[in-house]
Amino acid sequence: MMRKTLLLSLTLAAAPPMSAAELVEKIVARVNDRLITSSEFEKRVATSARSPEAPPDRERVRQDVLRDLIQEKLLEERARELDLAATDEEVENAVERIKRQYNLATDSEFDAALKASDITRDDLKKQMRHTITLQKVIGRDVTSRLEMTDDVLRLEYERQKDARYRLPEQAKVSEIVVRFDPQDPSARERAVKRIEEARARVAAGTPFAEVAKEFSEGNARERGGDLGTVSRSEMLPGLDAAVFTETTQEHTAPVLLPGSVHLFRVTDRKAAGYRPFADVREDLQKRLSENLYDKRYEEYIQKLRREAFVKIYDPVLAKTEEKKT
């Protein structure tokens, strides 16, 4: 960067005198000794504007890009202070991950994909080296300092368990269903009689699954009516009320719906509760880390910026930044 600054100074010295306005167009901002040039800035703006997540306001895109570039320059400075840099092996591994991500089996496929994106392999490696280096800085100064003790996670578990980890009442359910034309009273009567016949067979000791295979007209007939584990509120209200009653009988009374009549066998009832802490610990850690990371990262960047010399030469961007500050 010192060499870049020196070359820029020599160029300016050798060139004809330029107005202040022309100089501003050449340099958008300065972060310590690092410059954000107009070409670098506008190229990033053009790329960001094409993103599906880009805000519709072009000026907002420019502000966001400037913020990102300033942060990158601050992290580059910090990387130099800490003597951190991506190794060749890390860069090659990153490139290989990209190839696998996009199912690019051969080098020719990879080069063709790069060409379609208007980027060379050297450009990609340069980007990867830059990204990995900045990630190392963040890992050292931010991520490694996020405290995730069991006490912190258990406290978060108590705060979040009602919203995220509640388990509804559940039961293992099997069904015998007989269907009828809701416009035909005699068909409904026949369906009710058939369910009563099935119910009598079950009461006499015939296995429910065997009776279901003979009588049921439901999709689970070949499985002996087995619907698997069902949670409260998962079925139609009338059926749900029959399955999840306060009593714990194994076989329910027949349930009549407008076009069908149902008989249930209910076993393995489980009361409503919460997923155990041990089962959700990893999810808690991930969620808490993300939330805490955002806060710590923002604090870290603000600290770097307070300690740095940052000058914005673009008058519109400078005015907006001044308002934010």
- 58 within domain boundaries: yes
- 2 pLDDT higher than 60: no
Instruction: Please give the span between the terminal C-alpha atoms of the chain, in angstroms, as a whole number.
Output: 28
Contact 61, 48 (CB under 8 A): yes
Residues 173 and 262 in one domain: yes
Q: Are residues 201 and 268 in the same domain?
A: yes
Mean pLDDT of 106-116: 88
Residue 320 — very low, low, confident or very high, per pLDDT cuts 50/70/90?
A: confident
- Residue-wise pLDDT for 19-39, tens only, equals 444 444 579 999 999 999 999
Could you tell me if 28 and 122 lie in one domain? yes
User: What pLDDT score was predicted for residue 30?
Assistant: 94
Q: pLDDT, tens digit, for every residue of 49-92?
A: 888 888 888 889 999 999 999 999 999 999 999 999 999 999 99
Q: What percent of the chain has pLDDT over 90?
A: 54
**CATH number of residue 138's parent domain:** 1.10.4030.10
pLDDT at 308 over 50: yes
β-strands 170-179, 27-31: how paired? unpaired
Query: Across the chain, which distance is largest between two alpha carbons, in Å?
Result: 107
Average pLDDT score over the chain: 86
Distances (CA, A) of 198 to 145, 187, 201, 207: 65, 17, 5, 11
Label residue 50 exposed, middle or buried (CB < 10 Å: 0-12, 13-18, 19+): exposed
Check: CB of residue 173 under 8 Å from CB of residue 234: no
pLDDT at position 90, please? 95
Calculate Rg over the CA atoms of the chain. 33
Residues 95 and 55 in one domain: yes
pLDDT of residue 47: 87
Determine the 3-state secondary structure of 21 from DSSP: helix
Q: Are 174 and 212 in contact (CB under 8 A)?
A: yes
For residue 309, is pLDDT > 60?
A: yes
| Residue 318 or 77, more confident | 77
Q: Which of 34, 301, 287, 284 is nearest to 141 (CA)?
A: 301
Mean pLDDT on 183-205? 94
With contact defined as beta carbons under 8 Å apart, do 251 and 207 qualify?
no
pLDDT at 323: 64
* Domain region containing 256: 169-274
Establish if 157 belongs to a structural domain: no
Q: What's the number of domains the chain is made of?
A: 2
